[in-house]
Structure formats: structure tokens, C-alpha cells
Amino acid sequence: MTFEYCPKCGEKLFPKQIGDEGDVPFCEKCSRPFFPFSYPCVICLCIAENDEILLIKQSYGIIRYVCVAGYIKSGESAEECAKREIAEETGLELLGTRFLYSKYYEKHDNLMLAFAVRVRKGELKLSGELSEAAWFTPDEAYEALFDGAYGRDMINEIRRLEKEGLLGI
Ligand SMILES: [Zn+2]
């Protein structure tokens, strides 16, 4: 997202040299720059204490198994967002987070922050946005996800980290 108008006061922004950043859209009225950014989201590979993986199906769009994901709200950390999204969508309690990697998703101008998340396997209380949620072994989860799914990348990454003893959750 690159701003043309000030999101605070609505004035037209003009480029201004900001240190090493080069020209940045600037509001003269508010006297501040508005740096271009991509919307930050978290995507969580939810893993129970017994290493089973939770996949969900949303009740809109293309119906297929995916991982819990959501937009980070203003004022929220990525970890707080993961905790909130998991509680809202599944009712599960988060026990620990492990940042895996970030990836830019051009279609929606998102910066995806991928986390492996340990959750307590309890009663599922699905949000109205979900049609289904189910537990899988890691191999089953990999198969249940579509080719090119973030979840598959994330399973590959946790396998690599586990092999090195570096998963840490
Ligand atoms: Zn302004």
C-alpha cells in the first residue's frame, strides 16, 4: 500500500526526502511521512502436544483445508494476533509460538508471518467463519493440504527445525 492522500487528514501527499529512505509520501499538514507497507498477517501451523496438526476449512471462498490465519490489528504484536485468531476461530489455547519465516503475498499485498504454534488439544469451538476443523498426523496434514499451500511449506520447515533440534516449542 502506497498512500496518495493522508490517512489522518485527507490532504494530498507529496514526496519528501527522508534520510536514507529517499522520497517518501509526506503530509505537510500533519508533518509526517507515510511509508509504503504491506498488510501484515499471521499464518499459524497449529500443533498439539502429541504433534497432531489442526487444519480448518473456511465457510466461504474455495473450500479446502488451510491453516489458521488473520490480519494483525493496529497495536497488536504478531504473537498476540496468533493467540487471538486461534482462540476466535477454534477456541483452543495457545501454549507457545515459534516464528518460522515471512513471505510476501502479492495478490492481497500481504506480508505473511508464518508461525509454528503449540496448542492445547481441547474442545473445538469453531467460529461461524469455519465449516470444519480436524486433527491430522503431520504426514496426513501434508497430504490434506493443496499443492502450493503455505501449510506444506510450514510442515517442511518444522521438519527441518525438528531434525536440527531447533523447533523449541
Ligand atoms: Zn495529514
In a domain, 124, yes or no: yes
In a domain, 19, yes or no: yes
Q: Which distant-in-sequence residues (6+ apart) come within 8 Å of 98 by Cβ?
A: 115, 116, 117, 118, 161, 167, 168, 169
Q: Checking DSSP bridges between strand 23-27 and strand 68-71, what pairing results, if any?
A: unpaired
Length in residues, the chain = 169
From the CA of 149, how far away is ligand 1's center (Å)?
Answer: 40
- For residues 92-109, average pLDDT: 95
CB-based contact 81:110 (threshold 8 Å)? no
From the CA of 12, how far away is ligand 1's center (Å)?
Answer: 8
From the CA of 34, how far away is ligand 1's center (Å)?
Answer: 9
Provide the domain count of the chain: 2
Please check the confidence at residue 10 and state whether its pLDDT lies above 90: yes
Please check the confidence at residue 60 and state whether its pLDDT lies above 90: no
In a domain, 168, yes or no: no
Please check the confidence at residue 73 and state whether its pLDDT lies above 90: yes
pLDDT band at 91 (very low <50, low <70, confident <90, very high): very high
From the CA of 1, how far away is ligand 1's center (Å)?
Answer: 17
Identify any residues that bridge with 56 across adjacent strands, giving them in sequence order.
66, 133
Please check the confidence at residue 9 and state whether its pLDDT lies above 90: yes
What gap in Å lies between CA 142 and CA 167, rounded to an integer?
A: 18
Please check the confidence at residue 114 and state whether its pLDDT lies above 90: yes
Please check the confidence at residue 79 and state whether its pLDDT lies above 90: yes
In a domain, 169, yes or no: no
The rounded mean pLDDT for the chain is: 95
Residue 62: predicted pLDDT: 81
- CATH number of the domain enclosing 46: 3.90.79.10
Is residue 46 helix, strand or coil?
A: strand
> Do 80 and 152 belong to one domain?
yes
Residue 21: predicted pLDDT: 87
From the CA of 106, how far away is ligand 1's center (Å)?
Answer: 28
Residue 14: predicted pLDDT: 96
In a domain, 17, yes or no: yes
From the CA of 4, how far away is ligand 1's center (Å)?
Answer: 11
From the CA of 9, how far away is ligand 1's center (Å)?
Answer: 4
Please check the confidence at residue 32 and state whether its pLDDT lies above 90: yes
Residue 160: predicted pLDDT: 95
In a domain, 140, yes or no: yes
- Please name the residue that has the C-alpha cell 527441518: 160
> Do 108 and 91 belong to one domain?
yes
The domain of 24 spans 1-37
From the CA of 80, how far away is ligand 1's center (Å)?
Answer: 29
Please check the confidence at residue 5 and state whether its pLDDT lies above 90: yes
> Do 65 and 142 belong to one domain?
yes
> Do 31 and 106 belong to one domain?
no
> Do 89 and 133 belong to one domain?
yes
Residue 61: predicted pLDDT: 82
pLDDT band at 154 (very low <50, low <70, confident <90, very high): very high
Q: Which helix (H) or strand (E) holds 43?
A: strand 39-47
> Do 96 and 17 belong to one domain?
no
From the CA of 10, how far away is ligand 1's center (Å)?
Answer: 6
